[in-house]
A = this chain, B = another copy of it.
């Protein structure tokens, strides 16, 4: 598998010049980023983050789903973060994706035993950011005064725009 060979070669190169082996676990900037798994996004690069500075949670869409909320709780309660930034992006594969369509496709490919799930598709990009900020805000495990902001990343320009 060429991927494995390439990735391990790149990793050996990274390790050869590695100089930050003494970083502590708590993020130096006390911040957690929640964003999409999309391959076009490199949040460390587009936010100027170095190793050790921020937690980065990623899933399909950058949604505040149950496991992302659990991760934010661990980040805050055990590793001292006190700010969250939610970043969705233009041309996201989750735009317009319906759970019913996913279920139909999976049933066709894998048979009738597939359980329906909530995959996190959305129709309105800015609203999906507002919804996730609100979902985090509403979680009883999130401090009431926690700063939470929402942004859209434009995959065609690399630029972030805040969602009001």
Contact = CB atoms under 8 A, between A and B. Distances in A.
Interface of A: 1, 3-4, 6-15, 18, 20-23, 25-32, 37-42, 44-60, 63, 65-68, 70-71, 73-75, 77-79, 83, 85, 91, 93-94, 97, 102, 105-106, 109-111, 113-114, 117-120, 140-141, 147, 149, 155-160
B93 A74 contact: yes
13 contacts: A6-B29, A11-B158, A14-B45, A15-B158, A38-B55, A39-B55, A40-B51, A57-B58, A59-B59, A59-B67, A67-B68, A73-B119, A77-B102
Contacts of A37: 32, 55-57, 71, 75
Query: Closest 5 interchain pairs by CB?
Result: A10-B48, A18-B158, A67-B67, A27-B39, A21-B156
A118 B79 CA distance: 18
B119 A21 contact: no
Contacts of A156: 21-22
A144 to B, nearest CB: 10
A79 B56 CA distance: 22
B93 A25 contact: yes
Q: How many copies does the complex hold?
A: 2
Contact of A117 (B1, B25, B26, B66): B66
A22 to B, nearest CB: 8
A54 B6 CA distance: 13
